[in-house]
Amino acid sequence: MLRQSSGTLTVRASRQGLHPITNPVLAWLAAQAISRGLLTLFCRHTSASLLIQENAAPAARRDLEHYFERIAPEGGPYEHDDEGPDDMPAHLKAALTQTQLTIPVENGELRLGTWQGIYLFEHRRSAPKREIALHLIGE
């Protein structure tokens, strides 16, 4: 019999950039009575986003962060800067990555590849507290 379960992951990144959340997501999953199904993560913000990326090489994550700083730089020709120079670049980086991720679950585990980790991509310098809505459906 299929059922569903929902929750919220509250995270504060230690700084601007990629912040690993695979472990707290797995901890939440382990506490649910569903071991096969579909897990959805939904970032409830427009200046932070979600990304699945390389979980082994810190240099790859640094390159990713620098790349997004280059293609959506502070000091660009932006009209909107209500919350400072990192405001509009944050929205652009969020638009270029993901607000939502859905991952199949099998035998109580996420079907991530060996080198995949889940990251909160924090785009603000202030790194405020962020909420990620969680939803699990399955059996």
Residues that bind a copy of itself (CB under 8 A): 2-4, 6, 36-38, 40, 42-46, 51-54, 57, 59-60, 62-64, 66-67, 71-72, 76-80, 82, 88, 91-92, 94-104, 106, 111-113, 115-116, 131, 133-135, 137-139
Which CB atom, from 27 or from 76, has the smaller least distance to a copy of itself?
A: 76
Minimum CB separation of residue 57 from a copy of itself in Å reads 6
Strand partners, 37: 105, 138
Which CB atom, from 30 or from 95, has the smaller least distance to a copy of itself?
A: 95
Which CB atom, from 24 or from 55, has the smaller least distance to a copy of itself?
A: 55
Which CB atom, from 3 or from 125, has the smaller least distance to a copy of itself?
A: 3
